[in-house]
Chain A
Amino acid sequence: MGVSTAISAPEPLGFSAANMLDGIEAPAALLGADLKVIVINEAARLHASDRSAPGLRFLPGRSWRELCQEAEAVGVGVKLEALPVGIGEVRVSLDYTARRRSRFKAYRLSAKAMAGGLGQVLMVQTDLTRLAVTEQRLIEAEQHLADLAELSSDWLWSTDGELRFVELASPHGPLWRRVQPRLIGQSLDDLLGKVASEISRRRPFRDVVAEVKIKGKLHRIRFSGKPQFDTDGDFEGYVGLASDFTAAHDAEVARDAAERRLRDIAELSSDWFWETDGEHRFTYVSEAQHGVARVGLDQAIGRRRIEMIDEAMTDPAARARHLDDLTHHRPFRDFIYGSSSLGKFHYVKVSGKPRFDEGGRFLGHVGTTTDVTQVVESEKRREAAERRLKDAVEHMPGGIAIWDEQYRLVVCNDEYWSPPSDGIGRTYEELARQFRTIGPGRIESADREARIQERIRRHRNPPTSDEVVFGNGEVHQVNERRLGDGSMVTVTMDISRLKRREKELSDQRSLLQTTLDHISDGIMALDEKWQIVAVNDTFGELLGLPGDLARVGASFAAVVEWLARRGDYGTEQAETVAVDLVEKMSRAPRWYDEREMPDGRHISWRMGEIQGGGRLIAVADVSEQRQAERRREELRTTMAQAQQLESLSRLAGGLGHDLNNMLLPVMTLTELAMDELPEGSPARGDLERVISAAEHARGLVQQLMTFTRSAGKNGRFASLDLVLAEASDLLRATVGPNLFVRLELGAPGAGVPINATEIQQIVMNLGTNAAQALGERRGTLTIETALVEPNDNRLSGNPRLDPARRHVRLTVTDDGPGIPAELLPRIFEPFFTTKAVGKGTGLGLAVVHGLVSQCGGVIEATGDAGARFDILFPVADQAVNQKGNHNGTHSADR
């Protein structure tokens, strides 16, 4: 290992290395395995021969270590210790800066082992001065801009009536001293030709830029002015402010240029080198520098780059230009193409220049390539994302706007601001002044300003959710949110239809409620979950519910449970009853129930399905209906009974008539015959029995006839108590000693519209009935009377009674065996008897019924503990007072 090894390096290698070195613009050298310079390129030779040029000189024989030590000596901030002494396969680079003759220089010394394992090292010195200087300038330019911003450079100026500058005054600067002689005496309208028409009309102007050449340099000066008038209104000239912003402008331009250069250099710095022959085939490809791994890059050797271009992923025009450059052996720069030839797909940027031999023959290109995949792809992704965002925004159904953190509109669709291009870039505040809702002319100005400010305040403090009413009546929902990066998004939606629906719905609901409130039934609507969705007050009132139980949103089960607790459904567990009932109701599409409330009212429940889901329940007080039905039923029974009695009485009447006619000759002729017989004749006794039997028959017919007549008696009346007192002796005689007759008379003087005989007949029949029921046993018959005042409860049960009249009650009770309940309805029917044949006629109670009915009274029997007959007679003293009327009524009845 030594110099000789390097010098005696094989010729093809040297040739190849020299070729490669020549393709590099920067000074470059090839080092042998001993890290000493073997060959240098043209740039290194030129650099080494220029004594004034800064940087390291690559001379054959100099070692890497020497060069590094020199870099340390001249450089600033170089740490040689960090460098490896031997390089081997390791790629190193050293950045250093140096000042020479007060010139600032920056270099990068890069070294890397060559492929091929011969221990050779390629060393390149890249001049980074431009990059560093540009960086420095950028910093300076920004500082300068900041300085300028700080130093307000406004000058005052004024003109005379002829618009000639007469005065200029400035707080600062040497520049102004140069401007002043240039302007004094010059005409304002000459200088500011752009606003000549404003000036001629003596109107104010603002920020008009004039370019003024001062000492060969063009200055940009911004003028603003206001006309001045004297007290007579004559124009005196303009006064105003001016500012030179040339320096700021220049700095901005310089900064832009520096930025661009910086980017260019930065991009160039991740290269690899390549070389092609006259047929554009790769003859050499370096490995990538700066950490960009190019796996299989050397497989490119022998191939043409043009074949490696993925046409689909490359701009065709650029490709055509590039082909043209190659064909005409021209240099080219920054051609970007896509390629997947070297494994993974990449975008690369390539620059190159042609090489010719001494005879001008084209040898091929040398150049650099930069992998720009990430840049291109991220650019494409950014474009795609932007396009998608724009598409999405454009296709949003409502309005959408995105604002940056300065409240400037970044993107929006037509729905939000039309056209979007008119709004983009403007601030929310600017746009708010034009909003259709609070914009010009809509509202009185003071109020408008307040509203604009309020809107801006809300916009800056999201999230917001507002409903905004437009002039044409449209209602929009405006929602605003802050996004993660501090920007804002506004989404608007036309909800006019929704609002109209909402209003219609609420109108309908109040119509429904009004309707419900005016219905006499209790109404309750339930949803599918048996929750109350509508209910009127009557519902709770009819059922006697506590106020808050039947309300919208409450559960129906709670209502039923409350009723169950009250005992409406018997004594079972309230919860169980409620659950069972709701269960039963939910199974049936229709349901009807009627129940008596604790206070005696009858409440009906009707339930039906609501189309579209839910149930409707109606409760109604049907007490009157039920009572009327009951009365009708009673009346019907009574009438049927009366008709039955009527037809029977006709039959009995006719029968009685004929019997009487037949009995007459029996009785008379028997008596006459008996008179013919001698005293003591045994036939006399027989004939007496005939007469006795006939008498008995006559009694029977008499009873039958009384019953027949019973409906026809009227107009007479008797004092009930008096008649009863008189009749009691006869009754006692009739019923015999076994039945004790007790009188309890409590209605002295009360008259009844019935005659004394009939009263007698009633008590005699009832008494006989009791005596026969008791048979041989002893018992008590109680006859009592009492007055019943008008509107007494006892008068309300029977339609035949007039509750407004006074009545007197006659009650006859015995302590006999009573009357079985099943017989009660029939006991007043004629010929109905439970007695043995021959014991009773079956007419006794029918006669009583007939007599009582005929005078407008009613009779009721109960039989559970002895027989009890309650008779209610209308009191006749009132009938006496209104005699004509009373009789008339009866006449009409007949």
Chain B
Amino acid sequence: MARILLIDDDSTVRYALKQVLERAGHQVEEATDGQIGLQMYASGRQDVVVTDIIMPNKEGIETIIELRRMAPDLRIIAMSGGGRTGNRDFLAMAEKLGAARIIAKPFRPRELVEAVDTVLKAA
């Protein structure tokens, strides 16, 4: 069982993923964008952060960079519905910046559960 911070601006996505993760036995806290996510992590220091990339206010790449600064060993799973927007390949970039795993949306529930298990095991 791990404490997981889930950052996504889409409430339906958050609801679905929270269901998946809670059924796998994890405790899930939700943030609606990167800004809120950072504040929640600063106060909550969750075990794993699952974050979307394309979000309002503070988008995912920036969020990952700041999270990494706050906690160099933090396990981050980045997910995105668009591998690329404009000229930037966000998932590839997220991986470079320190996301332990990247998952392209949409995915089957077990893909996320496995990803979380994997990063937890690696720790």
Contacts and interface: CB of A to CB of B under 8 A. Distances in A.
Interface of A: 650, 653-654, 656-669, 671-672, 675, 694, 698, 705, 708-709, 712, 894
B19 A667 contact: no
Interface string B103-120: 011111100100000000
A664 B106 contact: yes
Contact of A661 (B13, B20, B23, B112): B13
B106 A660 contact: yes
B89 A709 contact: yes
Interface in B62-118: 80-87, 89, 104-109, 112
9 contacts: A659-B81, A665-B13, A667-B106, A667-B108, A668-B17, A669-B16, A672-B109, A705-B83, A712-B87
Interface of B: 10, 12-13, 15-17, 19-20, 23, 54, 80-87, 89, 104-109, 112
- Of the listed residues A664, A665, A672, the one surrounded by the most CB atoms of chain B closer than 10 A to its CB is A664
Given A657-B54, A665-B13, A698-B106, A708 B84 contact: yes
A660 B81 contact: yes
B116 to A, nearest CB: 14
**6 A-B pairs closest in CB distance:** A660-B81, A657-B82, A663-B106, A665-B16, A664-B106, A660-B105
Nearest to A666: B106
B122 to A, nearest CB: 24
A657 B104 CA distance: 10
Contact of A668 (B19, B84, B89): B19
A694 B107 CA distance: 10
B107 A664 contact: yes
Contacts of A654: 82, 85
B15 A665 contact: yes
B84 A663 contact: no
Contact of B83 (A650, A658, A663, A709): A709
A712 B87 CA distance: 7
B13 A672 contact: no
Given A668-B108, A671-B108, A671-B109, A661 B19 contact: no
Nearest to A663: B106
A671 B16 CA distance: 10
- Of the listed residues A656, A660, A705, the one surrounded by the most CB atoms of chain B closer than 10 A to its CB is A660
A459 B112 CA distance: 128
A650 B17 CA distance: 28
Contact of B87 (A662, A672, A894): A894
A712 B10 contact: no
Contacts of A669: 15-16, 19
Contacts of B81: 656-661, 664
B16 A664 contact: yes
Contact of B19 (A650, A656, A672): A672
Contacts of B105: 660-661, 663-664
Contacts of A658: 81
Contacts of B108: 667-668, 671
A668 B10 contact: no
Nearest to A713: B89
A685 B64 CA distance: 40
Contacts of A694: 106
Contacts of B23: 672, 675
Contacts of B54: 657
B104 A660 contact: yes
A216 B82 CA distance: 161
Nearest to A657: B82
Contacts of A665: 12-13, 15-16
Contacts of A894: 87
Contacts of A663: 105-106
B106 A705 contact: no
Contacts of B13: 661, 664-665
Contact of A660 (B12, B15, B82): B82
Contact of A656 (B17, B82, B107): B82
A393 to B, nearest CB: 104
Contacts of B107: 664, 667-668
Nearest to B15: A665
A654 B104 CA distance: 14
Contacts of B86: 650
A656 B15 CA distance: 21
A666 B15 CA distance: 11
A698 B19 CA distance: 21
Given A656-B82, A660-B82, A661-B13, 8 more contacts: A661-B10, A663-B106, A664-B105, A664-B106, A668-B17, A668-B108, A675-B23, A712-B89
A655 B97 CA distance: 26
Contacts of A659: 81
Contacts of B19: 668-669, 672
Given A661-B10, A661-B105, A663-B105, A668 B16 contact: yes
A894 B89 CA distance: 12
B82 A705 contact: yes
A672 B15 CA distance: 12
Contacts of A653: 82, 84-85
B21 to A, nearest CB: 10
A650 to B, nearest CB: 8
Contacts of B112: 668
A671 B54 CA distance: 25
Contacts of B84: 653, 705, 708-709, 712
A659 B80 CA distance: 11
A474 B109 CA distance: 116
Nearest to A708: B84
B32 to A, nearest CB: 14
Nearest to B23: A672
A672 B54 CA distance: 25
A672 B106 contact: no
A668 B18 CA distance: 10
Nearest to B81: A660
A672 B22 CA distance: 11
Given A661-B10, A712-B87, A668 B109 contact: yes
A10 B66 CA distance: 186
B73 to A, nearest CB: 28
Contacts of B20: 668, 672
B110 to A, nearest CB: 8
A668 B16 CA distance: 6
Nearest to B9: A661
B65 to A, nearest CB: 21
Contacts of A661: 10, 13, 81, 105-106
B63 to A, nearest CB: 17
A667 B108 CA distance: 6
Contacts of B12: 662, 665
A659 B84 CA distance: 14
A666 B108 CA distance: 10
Nearest to A649: B84
B34 to A, nearest CB: 16
A672 B16 CA distance: 9
B26 to A, nearest CB: 14
Nearest to A656: B82
Nearest to B10: A661
Contacts of A705: 82-84
Contacts of A668: 16-17, 19-20, 106-109, 112
A737 B15 CA distance: 45
Contacts of A664: 13, 16-17, 81, 105-107
Nearest to B12: A665
Contacts of A666: 106
A665 B109 CA distance: 9
A285 to B, nearest CB: 145
A591 B41 CA distance: 83
A589 B106 CA distance: 74
A582 to B, nearest CB: 63
A58 B87 CA distance: 163
- Of the listed residues A667, A668, A672, A894, the one surrounded by the most CB atoms of chain B closer than 10 A to its CB is A668
Contacts of B109: 667-668, 671-672
Nearest to B84: A709
